[in-house]
Amino acid sequence: MYIIAGLGNPSKEYERTRHNVGFDALDVLADKVGTTIEEKKFKGLYGRGIIGGEKVLLLKPQTFMNLSGESIRAAADFYKVEPDHIIVIYDDISLDVGQLRIRKKGSAGGHNGIKNIIAHLGTQEFPRIKVGVGDKPKKMDLADYVLSRFSKEDRALMEDAFKEAARAVEVMITDGADAAMNRFNGHKA
């Protein structure tokens, strides 16, 4: 079994912001899998499906970004899922808008949601899909930037990136992270 966690912040106020690209990509994946993410448990919303013959739990933590690890740990403990079967999708300001980067493990790189997941799982060894949201303008506060929305042009690029992120999850499950890295790393919408 796999847990696919898309990171974001709950409530309408944060919908379609840069910080919520994990939620947006998970919605695209849920559509592909033929499920909805509406059940409540694990301090989050979730849906279930099958990808490549494997059971998957699509999870949107509702703890706010900086406490995402609480939700992921609760689901992992319940289903006895090891970290190498937890795929996390989240925003990355060091990548161009719509660019993907897949990693099998790594540090938080300054991302507080990932930092909290590492703290709760006790390891950095879980696969992740970073979705580029572009670098913040020089004089803008980071929190304000990641909680802002995309321009119309950039949003169109992001819609393509969400589809590619969903495909990347499928490849990670069916063919492995290395195959997904070869296919999707550097992809720009």
d(CA 154, CA 176): 30
111 is catalytic: no
Q: Which residues touch 45 (CB under 8 Å, ≥6 apart)?
A: 37, 38, 39, 59, 60, 62
Q: How far is CA 177 from the centre of its chain?
A: 15
The tokens describing 102, both together, are 């897949």
Cα separation values, 165 from 80, 140, 142, 152, 157, Å: 25, 28, 24, 20, 12
Catalytic residues: 19
